[in-house]
Amino acid sequence: MTRPTSHVDVLIVGAGPAGLMLANWMSRCGIKTRVVDKRGTKVFNGQADGLQCRTLEIFDSFDFAQRVWQESNHMLEICLWNPDKNGTLHRSDRIADTIPGISRFQQVVLHQGRIERFLLDSIKENSDITVERGVLPTSFNFNESKARDPTDYPITVTLKTLSDEEATPQQQRKSANGTVVEDGLFRSNLAPDDTEDMIRSAEQSARADQTEEVKAKFMVGCDGAHSWVRKQLGFSLEGDSTDYIWGVLDIVPITDFPDIRMRCAIHSANAGSVMVIPRENKLVRLYIQLQSTEVGGGKADRSKITPDMILKSAQRILHPYTLTYDYCDWWTAYQIGQRVGNNFSLQERVFLAGDAVHTHSPKAGQGMNVSMQDTYNLGWKLAHVVKRYSDLSILKTYQSERRRIAQDLIAFDYRFSRLFSGRPAMDVMDEEGISMEEFKNAFQKGNMFASGIAVDYGTSLIVAKPGSSAEQGDGTDVSSQSKHRVLSKQHLARSIPVGQRIPSHKVLNQADARPWHLQELLKSNGRWRVIVFPGSLTNQTNMTRYQKLGEKLSKANSFLRKYTPSNLPIDGIIEVLTVHAGPRWDVELLDLPDIFHPYHEKMGWDYWKVFVDDQSYHEGHGRVYENYGIDPGQGASVIVRPDQYVSWVGEMDDYEEMEEFFSSFMKVQPEEAMVQHVLNLDLRGFSPRLTDVEDIANLLLADCNAGRVGKRWALNYIKQQPELKTCLNCPYDYQRALCEDPERIQAWFNLVQNMQAKYGIEDADVYNFDETGFMMGVILPSMVVTRADAGGLAIGPKLEFRPVVPEDSPAFTLLRGVGASFKSGFIDLSFKIPTRGYLNYFEKAKHPH
């Protein structure tokens, strides 16, 4: 039986938080995507639960942070419990769980199943992407010859549909207080990988014909620590395991421990350690140190681990306080280990994310957060490459940025987990014990890293800051290849660090005075942002600079238009926002350049682009300029990536630097390239006909294996381009059209001879004259395309000869770049496109006849 074959832009293997975050990006950006997961159902309880500040900011950019905020338990304080000199537990300290002021959100906890539900709902709202559960990849093939063409399908994967029984993981069926409770051991690092067993079972089953072949442009493995995708690529995880074994219980506790609703780090004198995480719906999660494997041993025997065993360990640690429970929601166990992948991608076509490339202990609440932030980083980059907005080179920054974060995470977790698992030192002479003061300091310093706010991406083609990209990243060279490397002027906005997520402060909408956090304006919709801080617009110097920037942004060849497809609004790829220094009452929105509040013929002016740093009626003053370290007398501009990380800081009106930055990785859109090519031909005296414009379009479409344009497409296209118009190439001249009387046409021959003499044209080249503008045999004028501000005819009123520009001109370079975005190599339009233009070498009123 022939297998069915399908084609997809992105294939996601694994539907946990990392895979669903990526699918969410794909749904927002309109990318053809499939998501498969070998398990038959989503997570309904247990697993990861901690959500850090940065993750909530990301959720807010997708418009579901409030759902999480309302359902979750908020973590505000950490209590440290240590043994006193008599070995008795006592509360030794209290510290803030989230560093005050670093974000408008604080850490919360909510189990993974609810997070997956919110992501699934978000995906459903924006696309028809669904998770195909009980679907297992069984074979993988990669065609290296197709890897450099982003429009091709180098990946072939065979998918197998499993039965419900095959897709259901095996449970331990262990009793928790007399009740069998679902466990997570099958996902634990104590459990062996069951993927190969599932494949063998599926091949032998009666459903062996339930297979499909999928060809993909890109594939992302979000399939956990036992990643099948990673194994197909031949990549490995590098690092070590410890001898520490921890159990996890999600229970409704019955206890006299006073801080059971606080996050607690508890060190006993010699019975081990416990971390208390108060959760939603009266639940409490306990991370409980169990035992050590024998020296040189491997994994612990998970068959001996039960909920009752974990509880007894907790009771010993918490003594003299008591602990029991009547209801257990979930349980598991794991062995502490820290590993990071040696490679995050195969030729920027197959990627790994989440636990597939980094594993660590769960006590710092990083697993789900870092995993989702991996694919949050990757998602918009994939979408831009698939949509041909950006060059393939930006995908290389995924490994550089996220592998470095994984390396930092492993280093942090290595120190933190050992401090947590170690026995408290009895005195300064106890070298084997752990200093509780050192543990407290590590906890406090680790809070900034754990929050996700401290992520600082190194210099690259999409982060314009000084230094070496290899040193600041994971060693991958992702530096800009631009002839003029753009560097930020960090001093202009001292508190908007390049490479970090942009901090958020309150601004007011200029049109309606409503206060907004700046981050609330930066939705995850795939758009870059240029945020202009022009300072005080009542300062005439500032206003003049701001207006000149507006003029440059408004031009037909500005980077806003060059990189935006004609079917999208002007802010479809790069959105321009303004935050001026006020006062709000002294500035009128409609007095500002139109480009800063674009007009739409059906929707009117855009009132949500201009904001002000001013006093609000009910929520105080954001003091944005002060908090960002921007001088209101000088201003600044900031380029922010689609994932809210800062790419560039520069002068408020430094358009040229902005343009240079984008030119190193953005792709000129095909229709915009056509406009520029037509304008260039017109400038050179070769105003193309409508059929020539049609030929350009068809060549571009043919090069990406698409169809042809319709009969009236060219005319409709020209009508939609404000820079272009159609007109006659020359006036109709009846006497010239007759071309019968030698005396009448003698003047034309004289003109040819004069042109030969003037420009040194050989007789052998005279046959070219008819195609370069002399047109002695044409009876009727032709309809051609020219620039919109030209006169009534393509041929100008003044005597002017426009020499043919060599094919290596910027116009041809532009078209070659467009060709490269569709196909490897370029479309040499200088040879393929007929340029039957008309040299403007004679005056309208002095035609020979």
Q: Catalytic amino acids?
A: 49, 279, 287, 362
- Strands 108-109 and 155-161, by their bridges, are unpaired
Give the dihedral sign, CA 501/502/504/510: negative
**End-to-end Cα, the chain, rounded Å:** 76
Q: Sheet containing 263-267: which strands, arranged edge to edge?
A: 89-96, 77-83, 263-267, 273-278, 284-292, 237-255, 323-341, 358-359
Question: Distance (Å, rounded) from C-alpha 737 to C-alpha 775?
Answer: 10
Residue 759, C-beta contacts closer than 8 angstroms, at least 6 positions apart: 801
Question: Distance (Å, rounded) from C-alpha 15 to C-alpha 17?
Answer: 7
Strand partners, 666: 390
Nearest 5°: CA angle at 172, between 359 and 201? 80
Residue 709, C-beta contacts closer than 8 angstroms, at least 6 positions apart: 694, 697, 698, 701
CB atoms within 10 A of CB 842: 19
Question: Distance (Å, rounded) from C-alpha 117 to C-alpha 134?
Answer: 18
Residue 292, C-beta contacts closer than 8 angstroms, at least 6 positions apart: 243, 244, 245
> Would you put residue 176 in left (φ > 0), alpha (ψ -120 to 50) or beta?
beta
Cβ proximity of 726 and 715 under 8 Å: yes
CA Rg value for the chain: 33
SS3 92: strand
Question: Distance (Å, rounded) from C-alpha 814 to C-alpha 803?
Answer: 20
Question: Distance (Å, rounded) from C-alpha 713 to C-alpha 296?
Answer: 73
Strand partners, 346: 350
Question: Distance (Å, rounded) from C-alpha 842 to C-alpha 568?
Answer: 41
Would you give the DSSP letter of residue 185?
A: G
Would you give the DSSP letter of residue 615?
A: B
Q: Write out the E strands in 237-283.
A: 237-255, 263-267, 273-278
How many residues belong to the chain?
A: 849
Q: DSSP assignment of 493-528, as one string?
A: GTTS-TTSBPP--EEEETTT--EEEGGGG--SSS-E
Question: Distance (Å, rounded) from C-alpha 86 to C-alpha 201?
Answer: 58
Amino acid at 417: S
Strand partners, 264: 79, 276
Residue 583, C-beta contacts closer than 8 angstroms, at least 6 positions apart: 538, 612, 614
Phi and psi at 189, nearest 5°, equal -75, -5
* 743 membership: H or E segment, kind and range: helix 742-759
Convert 642-653 to b/e letters by CB count within 10 Å (16 or more is b).
bbbbbbbbbbbb
Would you give the DSSP letter of residue 74?
A: E
Return the axis-axis angle of helices 810-822 and 670-683, rounded to nearest 10°: 160
Nearest 5°: CA angle at 433, between 427 and 438? 85
> Of the candidates 834, 814, 800, which has an alpha carbon nearest to the alpha carbon of residue 668?
814
80 to 263, 417, 435, 689: CA distances (angstroms): 9, 15, 13, 79
